[in-house]
Amino acid sequence: MLKLFIFISKRSVQMLLLFVIFLTVLFFLLEAQPGDLSQQYIGNPDIPPEEKARLAARLGLDMPLFSRYLAYMKNFFTGNLGNSLSQYPTPVTKLIFDALPRTIVLFLSATLLAYYLGFVTGKVLAWRRGKMSEYLLTLGGVGLYTVFYPWFALLMIWTFGFTLSNVTGIRVFPINKFIDVSDWLGSPFTTNQVFLRMILVAVLSMLVAAVATVIAKQRLEIRQAIRVRNIAFLLGVVFPFIYFFFSAMGKYALDILHHTLLPVMTLALVAFAGIMLLTRSAMLETLREDYILTARAKGLPEKVIRDRHAARNALLPVVTSLVLALAFVIGGGIITETVFSWPGVGLLLYNAVILEDIPLAMGGLSVIAALALIGHLVADILYAYLDPRIRY
Amino acid sequence: MTERIDLEPEQSTGGPLVQEPLWRIRLRLARRSFGRNWKMFVANKIGLIGLGIIVLFALLGILHPILMSRVWDPAIYDPVQGYDAPVAEYTVVAEVQDPASEMDLATARLMQNPFVEEGDIVTIPQQPAPPSKGHWLGTDPLGRDILSQLMYSTRAAFAMGAIAAFMSVLIATTVGSVAAYYGGWIDNVLMRFADLILLVPLIPVLIVVGALFNLTLPLLGMLIGVLSGFGGTAIVLKSSALGVSVKPFVDAARVAGGSNRHIILRHIVPNVLPLSFLYMMFTVTEAIALEATLSFLGLMNVQMSWGIMIFTAHSQGYLLSGTHYWWLLFPAGLAVTMLAAAFFLVGRGMDEVINPRLRVR
């Protein structure tokens, strides 16, 4: 346990160092850009040179490069990211923290969904090597993996958001955005209040289910423990619905959930393909191992060999790939947010870039990079927990 | 003049056993191993499918300038500046029964001129126009030929893929070999840098770079090549080069007095190059997708590309018409997907040749 703790703290320090390097690179990227903020009025003859110099002094652009760099770092780590230019004078931090929960929920739920489905499909796929269904699914997986993502998202909107609703006559999935504004007129809550409550309730009920499962596994025998696990997770999923059914926020929570489904599904579907292909090749390598042959010789059922002997060992490289999948999901998430007009950090970043709101763009990028690094740290810890060899 | 000693007879008796020049032997060996690998590549259908798609697209790209100069009129078929609007005729009637050939009075007055009467025939230029004899894939909302745009963009995709591939192979092979051969702090610095590049997601970085700088195709290709070459590919190649650098022939070369540069260039690099080419394929896949994405977001400084074709259809509001205006959405989206998938498939096919663990026993 101590070894694990040392490993975690070492990795955390490394990540922090990487983040500082990233910020440094970002700062010099900004410096390398032709011109600076004080020069945007350079063509305006009505502004005298003294006024331009004053503007540069106010923005700290007359300081030498190194002290500007120090000021940038100090500001960043004291939480001062400047004011947004497109939504002046709202601080960048406020804009980002408003959008952050939506982005995290999108990334997290899509990643979890993609991982679960991808792993289950991948192991079945490897088991059916050489059959027609394997070929078709692999080709489909490659197609999904390399599909031009914005186009795919547009097609999903058209198929599920538009055509499906047209055909059935009810609005199965909304086309885009985070809420229906008309339903929220006169609402006593803000979207973030409702959304944060949703996250809280869902996470808490899942946590309770997980704790119940762990306790059951220690106290009870295996069959009963599995039964307890199934019931606990079923209740964990059902409880938030019951809670919001009786809560005053219910109507609004349902609206948000309704808008969340299609973006999460789209992102998960694309990330899923990569995980499936990876699990397949990892499984194919494990199937060569001698202990699989031993398990076969013992006469164990196919399903047990597949799930207990092969899949468990194939899980390791799949978890390692969480890093790559994370970069994929984050990149895809930004496009998802843009295409679906989902007001997260990605859309904020995109709009900032389009409107040339440099402070907001820089802040958004730093936060996204920080998210990626934190995700990577979590994956590292998970890996060290799963594979004791890493810790030593 | 001093008398020369004739060494010729001496050499012919005790000379080298092989008379053939070295390059010819090398060529023969290369051809033989290429033949063997090719057979393995072909046996695995996946790679061959990919190669077929790539060749198809390459043909489209080569054909475009020929068509432009010989067959197509640039005023109509130029991918950026061409304009053509086929005219459709409508009979003005009171009640529309067949929307393809009839139009009601109010619409006709709005679209043609306010003095139209019932029973007249009005001609309306169509933009976007459906596929016809002149335009096999129809025209876009600005009246430009889709097929021409599609073929024109192919060249750009290939050129950018080639730049990205070249840069990534160059950098990844150098970084990987150098890090593995020297080890120590050089290895540490290079690998931490690779970590950083691997960890930070590429799309948001490129979006911000697109905002700060003027992103052109060659620049983006180079950027993607450098980032992918320095990031993930370098890490993979380093571990491969590490395996090579402990082989006996490297020690032999060092004992024989080979310089570091000689050993890296002559012994390590040729051995990691196949793997490098494999990862190059994945870089090309990534480059094609990224370029299309960035131009879809409107951040690239290019006149025409597959991403821009979709961007045009999307921004002009033709998305929700779905299959009705299929020629606006499907050709470009499918082209990006298929070309990216083709390079990925070739990579998978090469993987099975290079990586013996994956072969079916």
Summarize pLDDT for B195-212 with one digit per residue, the tens: 888 888 889 999 988 888
Per-residue pLDDT at B359 exceeds 80: no
Residue A372 lies in a domain: yes
Do B212 and A29 count as a contact with CB atoms less than 8 A apart?
yes
Residue with tokens 């339903």: A183
Per-residue pLDDT at B108 exceeds 60: yes
Rounded mean pLDDT, A232-240 = 90
Question: If you count residue pairs, one on A and one on B, with CB atoms under 8 Å apart, how many are there?
Answer: 139
Which residues in A lie closer than 8 A to residue B232 (C-beta atoms)?
Answer: 324
Q: What is the pLDDT of residue A24?
A: 92
Q: What is the pLDDT of residues B140-191, one digit of tens each?
A: 888 889 999 999 999 889 999 999 999 999 999 999 999 999 988 999 889 8
Residue among A96, A132, A146, A377 with most chain B CBs within 10 A, to mutate:
A146
Rounded mean pLDDT, B240-244 = 87
The alpha carbon torsion through A53, A56, A62, A68 (nearest 10 deg) reads 170
d(CA B108, CA B92): 7
d(CA A217, CA A237): 20
A151 close contact with B: CB closer than 8 A: yes
Buried b (16+ CB within 10 A) or exposed e, B67-78: ebeeebeeebbb
DSSP 8-state class, residue B86: -
Nearest CB neighbour to B200, from listed A22, A335, A350:
A22
Element (H, E) at B123: strand B121-125
CB B225 within 8 A of CB B165: yes
Rounded mean pLDDT, A244-269 = 90
Residue A215 lies in a domain: no
Do A349 and B208 count as a contact with CB atoms less than 8 A apart?
yes
Q: What is the pLDDT of residue B61?
A: 93
Residue among A28, A148, A353 with most chain B CBs within 10 A, to mutate:
A148
Supply the ipTM of this predicted assembly. 0.86
B126 vs B32, residue with greater confidence:
B32
Q: Residue A153: which domain range?
A: 98-189+248-386
d(CA A93, CA B332): 39
At position B291, the amino acid (one-letter code) is E
Which residue on chain B is closest to A135 by alpha carbon?
Answer: B46
Residue A86 lies in a domain: no
- Residue B183 φ/ψ region, left for φ over 0, alpha for ψ in the -120 to 50 degree band, beta for the rest: left
- Measure B173 CA to nearest chain A CA, in Å: 21
Per-residue pLDDT at B1 exceeds 60: no
Do A361 and B213 count as a contact with CB atoms less than 8 A apart?
no
Interfacial A residues in 172-201 facing B (CB < 8 Å): 175
Q: What is the pLDDT of residue B357?
A: 57
Do B333 and A151 count as a contact with CB atoms less than 8 A apart?
yes
Domain CATH code at residue A102: 1.10.3720.10
d(CA B204, CA A107): 14
Q: In Å, what is the CA distance from A168 to each residue of A163, A164, A359?
A: 9, 6, 46
pTM: 0.86
Per-residue pLDDT at A232 exceeds 60: yes
Which residue on chain A is closest to B201 by alpha carbon?
Answer: A327
Q: Where are the alpha helices (DSSP H) in chain B?
A: 8-14, 22-43, 45-70, 74-77, 105-111, 146-182, 184-199, 202-212, 217-230, 232-245, 248-255, 260-263, 269-296, 306-315, 326-354
Do A158 and B205 count as a contact with CB atoms less than 8 A apart?
no
Strand pairing category for B121-125 and B87-93:
antiparallel
Residue A253 lies in a domain: yes
Token representation of residue B292 = 């299309």
- Measure B333 CA to nearest chain A CA, in Å: 6
Q: What is the pLDDT of residue B358?
A: 53
Q: What is the pLDDT of residue A390?
A: 63
Which residue on chain B is closest to A364 by alpha carbon?
Answer: B204
A130 vs B231, residue with greater confidence:
B231
Token representation of residue B141 = 């909302």
B2 vs A30, residue with greater confidence:
A30
Rounded mean pLDDT, B130-145 = 86
Nearest CB neighbour to B210, from listed A129, A158, A353:
A353
Q: What is the pLDDT of residues A3-45, one digit of tens each?
A: 888 888 988 998 899 899 999 988 888 888 776 766 766 667 7
- Measure B106 CA to nearest chain A CA, in Å: 27
Q: What is the pLDDT of residues B216-228, one digit of tens each?
A: 889 999 999 999 8
The closest of A16, A72, A6, A131 to A374, measured between CA atoms, is A16
Q: Cα B300–B302–B303 angle (5° rounding)? A: 135
Per-residue pLDDT at B27 exceeds 70: yes
A16 close contact with B: CB closer than 8 A: no
d(CA A129, CA A135): 8
Which residues in A lie closer than 8 A to residue B322 (C-beta atoms)?
Answer: 158, 162-163
Task: Name the β-bridge partners of A91.
Answer: A83
Helix, coil or strand: residue A216: helix
Domains identified in chain A, total number: 1
A289 vs B16, residue with greater confidence:
A289
Residue A301 lies in a domain: yes
Token representation of residue B324 = 């009705």
Q: Residue B267's CB: how many other CB atoms inside 10 A?
A: 20
Helix, coil or strand: residue B125: strand
Do A362 and B208 count as a contact with CB atoms less than 8 A apart?
yes
Residue A7 lies in a domain: no
- Measure A219 CA to nearest chain B CA, in Å: 41
Nearest CB neighbour to B211, from listed A175, A281, A356:
A356
Residue A63 lies in a domain: no
Which residues in B lie closer than 8 A to residue A327 (C-beta atoms)?
Answer: 198-202
Q: What is the pLDDT of residue B179?
A: 92
CB B297 within 8 A of CB B207: yes
CB B210 within 8 A of CB A30: no
Residue A379 lies in a domain: yes
